[in-house]
Amino acid sequence: MDCATYRRLYPKYGKLPLPRKVWDTPEGEEHGDHFHDCNSCCDWTLGQRAVARGARVEDFPCVHIADRVTEKFDSTDADPFDDPDVIIWKFDHSGDYGIPIRDGGSSIVVIQYCPWCGVPLYKDR
Ligand SMILES: [Zn+2]
Ligand SMILES: [Zn+2]
């Protein structure tokens, strides 16, 4: 499968959770394989997810951070210290990106670079 086909078929296969009868087909399998094999389409997909959540990818240093940080946009009661799904959080008061430490307190490990692609997270520091 090539990149153009992958992206054209994304509306069909990109909505999760996907019923087995949709992904368990030769085309569905090729689509999944392309996602894992193609960095460019993998990044593109993360961007699509963030946009679907109402975010702007340009507001984030890269698509990986955009995808992670927007994962909980839709749940108003998301507490980064309570929710093991939250890997990286943007702390609005400080503007820091960090990994919550779930020891009952509210400390974070502030990160400087994207763990996936290594871009610096703060342009103006
Ligand atoms: Zn591709
Ligand atoms: Zn990244």
How close is the Cα of 16 to the center of ligand 2, in Å?
22
Classify burial at 54, counting beta carbons within 10 Å of its beta carbon; exposed 0-12, middle 13-18, buried 19 or more: exposed
Using alpha carbons only, how large is the chain's radius of gyration in Å? 16
Compute the mean pLDDT over every residue in the chain, rounded to the nearest whole number: 89
Q: Which pLDDT score, from 0 to 100, does residue 93 have?
A: 76
pLDDT tens string 47-100: 999 999 999 999 999 999 999 999 876 666 667 788 888 889 887 777 899 998
Q: Which residue has the tokens 């087995």?
A: 20
Residues having C-beta closer than 5 Å to ion ligand 2: 62, 64, 114, 116-117
pLDDT value of position 11: 92
Number of other residues whose CB lies within 10 A of the CB of residue 36: 9
Whether 110 and 96 have beta carbons less than 8 Å apart is answered as yes
Facing residues of 114 across strands? none
Residue 10 CA to ligand 1 centre (angstroms)? 11
Q: Is the pLDDT of residue 112 over 80?
A: yes
Q: Rounded to two decimals, what is the model's pTM?
A: 0.82
CA dihedral in degrees (76, 80, 86, 88; nearest 10)? 120
Residue showing tokens 């871009």: 119
With beta carbons less than 8 A apart as the criterion, state whether 106 and 78 touch.
no
